[in-house]
Amino acid sequence: MLRRAEIELKSPGEVDAMREAGRVVARCLDAVRAAAVPGTSLKELDDVAHAVMQDHGAVPAFLDYHPHFAPSPFPGVICASVNDAVVHAIPGPYRLADGDLLSIDCGAFLDGWCGDAAFSAVVGDAPYPADLDLIATTERALHAGIAAAVPGGKLGDIGAAISAVAREPGYGMLADHGGHGIGRAMHMAPHVPNEGRAGRGLRLRPGLVIAIEPMLHAGGGDDYVHDDDGWTLRTADGSRAAHAEHTIAITDDGPRVLTLA
């Protein structure tokens, strides 16, 4: 169970500082989106994001991150997950091809505050219209989750809103993966599940800052597999996946998205 003592609330000034960190992340993602054309390698996209961070005096949040489940520190600035890779893929030498479904996740620290956001897009021409539907639904699920992040609501409202959008067309979501509290660390309490029951769980209060991040895939199941690198998470059925994420603050005026340019 979640204990309130574990949940950190930020002051309005701290939320403003997190907005600046989020802005850098958004600019990184914009630059990566523009560079993600056929022939570009995932490592080159990583370099693009790193350069934007350095321009802003920001520090990569993912680079050398070493959580308990991983066999080695993460070697990239972004996660670059292609097609059936859902999240956490290492940006290596793979070169993008027309029609790849690319998911980019990026985190950065600015003045000690962390921002975390992700998007998915189809590279070049799109031979698979189903991918565009998957991406659009993932973004709708994200925004439904954000809309539920209001003072007086419950944490379960967010997951319920996300899963209602995701499950209606029959998409799957990874079990055990979801969003998180965020602040001076990237991953903080509470865990923010992508499924939930409305009206249940932690009460949402102004000053709570969380990353909301639905990960949907076309296959409909909840299973996934790890690559041998210990990081990359793929759908067990080989179906394509999309990921969308924003860092948001719950304020007296409703949800405030921090990871916008």
- Where on the chain is the footprint of Mg ion (CB under 5 A)? 105, 116, 118, 211, 245
Nearer to Mg ion, 8 or 237 (CB): 8
In the three-class reduction of DSSP (H, G, I as helix; E, B as strand; rest coil), residue 73 is classed as coil
Smallest separation (angstroms) from Mg ion to the CB of 247: 8
* Residue 224 Cα distances to 33, 55, 65, 235, angstroms: 26, 37, 22, 4
Q: Is the peptide bond before 73 cis (omega within 30 degrees of 0)?
A: no
Nearer to Mg ion, 195 or 245 (CB): 245
**CA-closest candidate to residue 155, choices 212, 198, 209, 189:** 198
Asked if 195 and 159 touch (Cβ cutoff 8 Å), the reply is: yes
Give, for 162, the enclosing helix (H) or strand (E): helix 155-167
Nearer to Mg ion, 147 or 185 (CB): 185
Can you name the residues that pair with 121 across neighbouring β-strands? 102
Asked if 226 and 233 touch (Cβ cutoff 8 Å), the reply is: yes
User: DSSP H helical segments within 176-220, as ranges?
Assistant: none
Cα gap 165→8, rounded to integer Å:
29
Nearer to Mg ion, 6 or 252 (CB): 6
Smallest separation (angstroms) from Mg ion to the CB of 47: 19
Smallest separation (angstroms) from Mg ion to the CB of 158: 14
Nearer to Mg ion, 105 or 131 (CB): 105
Nearer to Mg ion, 30 or 129 (CB): 30
**Cα-only R_g, the chain:** 17
Smallest separation (angstroms) from Mg ion to the CB of 128: 24
Q: What is the token pair recorded at 238?
A: 């080989």
Helix, strand and coil in the chain, % to nearest 5: 30, 30, 45
Smallest separation (angstroms) from Mg ion to the CB of 204: 18
Smallest separation (angstroms) from Mg ion to the CB of 177: 10
Give, for 130, the enclosing helix (H) or strand (E): helix 129-147
Smallest separation (angstroms) from Mg ion to the CB of 39: 26
Nearer to Mg ion, 191 or 226 (CB): 191
